[in-house]
Amino acid sequence: MSDLATPSPANDAGARGFNLFGFLARYGTVIALMLLIAFNLGYTRNFATLQTLNVNLTQVCTIVIVAVGMTLVIATGGIDLSVGSLMAISGALAPMIFMGKIFPVGNTYLAVVVAMVVSIFVAGLLGLFNGWLVSRFRIQPIVATLVLFIAGRGIAQVMTNGNLQTFRVPQFQWIGLARPLGIPAQVIIMAVLVAAAAWALHRTVFGRSILAVGGNEKASELAGIAVARIKLAVYAISGLCAGLAGLVVIAINSSSDANLVGLGMELDAIAAVAVGGTLLSGGKATIIGTLLGALTIQLVRYTLLANGVPDAAALVVKAAIIAFAVWLQQQHRV
């Protein structure tokens, strides 16, 4: 009956020729980004400099790194609120290891490698825990990841007794401060991550399975896709990305404050994904879109700040952009 009652609506949309909403939903982010750049070239002083580019890129890096994992989670129809807290945990754990608070450090290089691997791995394990809650117990993702959103930051604070950890360890801080060929190291990491994820999403069985699970979970299950394993994997990847972003943040700051690392990151990442054109209900995702979305939000904030608008007001504009992007998506889907 339902088959009869709903003929495919998109056929007539195609017949009508140009579809404004469809066009905007597809290219809106690129257009917005280009308009912003054009505006700044005209009105903002010292915009077309390497300095400005680097400032904006370094600021947007951690958001993009987290948002890549978030995109995969959202593509399965889920969401991950715990990323900010996982950043705090990895950001708290790494200095404890390379500063010798857990076990004595012999070789600094070795300690740094162990610190990075272990902290990212721990964040990945916690992500796996999120995935376990979601796939094994069928807890709604927003609730399941709320557990670590709340508990995660608490764990980080307990680990450090709430103290600020400061350090000066160049062997570690290269991921936030080094500039091979003049490009900040974290920008290179971000670029590699974006490229790898974009490729994987469309060229691998794993990527295709992610989109299938988000697009129709029951059909995917019946087609033999291991739905539970896919969900475990995306949450674990989201955790790994958050762990990595946590390290970048503390490397830039030369310090780690469990109260502040990754604070509000979940919302920034979700905003980048939404503005980038990924369906929040799952099944359709674009990593490049997420990158452009993050850049757009960043550039709006920069533009307003550079032109004397206070940060508080910039937040309102940011909210308006996100609301507009989501509204646009809905228009396109109807």
Q: Is 77 or 184 the residue whose CB approaches another protein more closely?
A: 77
Q: Is 105 or 226 the residue whose CB approaches another protein more closely?
A: 226
Q: Is 3 or 311 the residue whose CB approaches another protein more closely?
A: 3
Q: Is 166 or 330 the residue whose CB approaches another protein more closely?
A: 330
Question: How many Å apart are CA 166 and CA 201, to the nearest integer?
Answer: 38
How far apart are CB 321 and another protein at their closest, in Å? 24
Contact present, 296 and 31 (Cβ < 8 Å): no
Contact present, 328 and 19 (Cβ < 8 Å): no
Q: Which residues bind another protein (CB under 8 A)?
A: 1-8, 10-11, 14, 203-206, 208-209, 211-212, 215-216, 218-226, 279, 283-284
The SS3 assignment for 114 reads helix
How far apart are CB 138 and another protein at their closest, in Å? 15
Distances (CA, A) of 253 to 19, 63, 73, 164, 169: 47, 16, 29, 11, 12
How far apart are CB 131 and another protein at their closest, in Å? 18
How far apart are CB 288 and another protein at their closest, in Å? 18
Which single residue is written with the structure tokens 């900040």? 184
Contact present, 88 and 156 (Cβ < 8 Å): yes
| Among candidate residues 158, 121, 120, the one with its CA nearest the CA of residue 246 | 120
Q: Is 225 or 274 the residue whose CB approaches another protein more closely?
A: 225
Count of C-beta atoms within a 10 Å radius of residue 225? 18
The two structure tokens encoding residue 169: 């360890």
| Among candidate residues 156, 172, 174, 193, the one with its CA nearest the CA of residue 70 | 193
State CA 241 to chain mean position distance.
Answer: 8
How far apart are CB 226 and another protein at their closest, in Å? 7
Q: Is 42 or 137 the residue whose CB approaches another protein more closely?
A: 137
How far apart are CB 160 and another protein at their closest, in Å? 39
Q: Is 43 or 199 the residue whose CB approaches another protein more closely?
A: 199
Question: How many Å apart are CA 268 and CA 51, to the nearest integer?
Answer: 23
Beta bridge partners of 256: 165
The two structure tokens encoding residue 120: 């990212």
How far apart are CB 276 and another protein at their closest, in Å? 16
